[in-house]
């Protein structure tokens, strides 16, 4: 199974910085073969700028969110169909920042993932426990609830990706231990009801950087990474890509 390294730029970047980062990455993939599938998820207004730099092929494009509906009166939202139309092949749904900032429930995340599938996009469906939940010993319960509630019935290993992002590890410099990562990834794979679970790509996210990528990516059940902060630094992001086994 080929690894997938996705860069979630979150609410960062300008037209100029997006152009520089995307063209820099395109240059690197042109010079030396990437060990992984690579996806860039910039803020929505920067998608066409990134699309123009990466061209067709080696680097994929993804949105950071989509609406559950196909179109209509939803000011500020973006449809999965439009993301597809402008060249995306992926979309992140259910990121913990959207669950927290926008009150997204499992049901909403599931509807968004279903909309993505209908539009022909691969949803990257995010799950993960908070620090309080982990300390209370509830990690497995929370992950089970999120997988049961957020993953559409028609999701398969071929059309969807899951990302495990412990909330307390995001942007904090803390990472889960490789034993904890292996345990949760194993649980997610077991719980996944869709076709082909052995080939389901499960990404780890939360303070992944060049210096820890090798250990994380070599962990059992880890098939790639969803990278925030380090994806804004071309050299560090490339170190992560190059750390894929």
Task: Give the residue numbers annotated as catalytic, written as ranges.
Answer: 95, 165
Residue 64 sits in the site that holds ligand 13P (CB under 6 A): no
Nearer to ligand 13P, 81 or 95 (CB): 95
- List the interface residues with ligand 13P, window 13-52 (CB under 6 A): none
Number of alpha helices (DSSP H) and beta strands (DSSP E) in the chain: 10, 8
Segment contacting ligand 13P by CB under 6 A, of 46-54, 68-76, 146-154, 204-212: 204-212
Query: Please, are residues 131 and 92 in contact by the beta-carbon 8 Å criterion?
Result: no
Q: Are strands 224-227 and 201-205 parallel, antiparallel or unpaired?
A: parallel
Segment contacting ligand 13P by CB under 6 A, of 13-21, 107-115, 190-198, 199-207: 199-207
Nearer to ligand 13P, 205 or 224 (CB): 205
- Taking residues 147 to 176 in sequence order and writing x for each that binds ligand 13P by CB under 6 A, - otherwise, the string is ------------------x----xx-----
Nearer to ligand 13P, 81 or 206 (CB): 206
What secondary structure letter does DSSP report for 79?
A: B
Residue 206 sits in the site that holds ligand 13P (CB under 6 A): yes
Query: Please, are residues 38 and 67 in contact by the beta-carbon 8 Å criterion?
Result: no
Could you tell me which residues come within 8 angstroms of residue 211 by beta carbon, excluding any fewer than 6 positions away? 239
Nearer to ligand 13P, 30 or 171 (CB): 171
Query: Please, are residues 102 and 76 in contact by the beta-carbon 8 Å criterion?
Result: no
Residue 98 sits in the site that holds ligand 13P (CB under 6 A): no
Nearer to ligand 13P, 8 or 146 (CB): 8
Q: Which of 179, 174, 185 is nearest to 208 (CA)?
A: 174
Residue 128 sits in the site that holds ligand 13P (CB under 6 A): no
Q: Which of 111, 80, 109 is nearest to 95 (CA)?
A: 109
Whose structure tokens read 């030396």? 32
Per-residue burial over 221-234, b = 16 or more CB atoms within 10 Å of its CB, e = otherwise: bbbbbbbbbbbbbb
Residue nearest ligand 13P, CB atom distance: 228
Q: Which of 236, 234, 239, 179 is nearest to 204 (CA)?
A: 179
Residue 108 sits in the site that holds ligand 13P (CB under 6 A): no
Residue 123 sits in the site that holds ligand 13P (CB under 6 A): no
**CB 172 → ligand 13P: shortest distance, Å?**
7
Number of residues that bind ligand 13P (CB under 6 A): 14
Residue 63 sits in the site that holds ligand 13P (CB under 6 A): no
What does 112-127 look like in DSSP terms, one character per residue? HHHHHHHHT-EEEEEE
In the complex, the residues that contact ligand 13P under the rule CB under 6 A are 8, 95, 165, 170-171, 205-208, 226-230
């Amino acid at each position: 199974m080929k690894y997938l390294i996705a860069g979630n730029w979150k609410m960062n970047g300008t037209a100029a910085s997006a152009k520089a980062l995307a063209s820099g990455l395109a240059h690197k993939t042109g010079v030396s073969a990437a060990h992984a599938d690579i996806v860039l998820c910039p803020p929505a207004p920067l998608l066409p700028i990134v699309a123009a730099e990466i061209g067709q092929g080696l680097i994929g494009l993804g949105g950071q969110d989509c609406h559950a509906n196909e179109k209509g009166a939803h000011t500020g939202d973006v449809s999965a169909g439009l993301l597809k139309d402008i060249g995306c092949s992926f979309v992140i749904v259910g990121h913990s920042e959207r669950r927290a900032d926008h009150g997204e429930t499992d049901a909403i995340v599931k509807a968004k993932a279903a909309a993505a599938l209908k539009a022909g996009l691969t949803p990257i469906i995010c799950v993960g426990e908070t620090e309080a939940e982990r300390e209370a010993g509830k990690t497995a319960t929370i992950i089970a609830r999120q997988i049961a509630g957020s993953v559409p019935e028609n999701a398969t290993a071929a059309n969807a990706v899951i990302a495990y992002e412990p909330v307390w590890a995001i942007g904090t410099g803390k990472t889960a231990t490789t034993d904890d990562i292996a345990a949760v990834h194993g649980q997610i794979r077991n719980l996944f009801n869709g076709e082909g679970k052995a080939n389901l790509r499960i990404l780890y996210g939360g303070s992944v950087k060049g210096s820890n990528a090798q250990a994380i990516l070599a962990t059992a059940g880890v098939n790639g990474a969803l990278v925030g902060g380090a994806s804004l630094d071309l050299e560090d992001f490339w170190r992560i890509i190059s750390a894929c086994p």
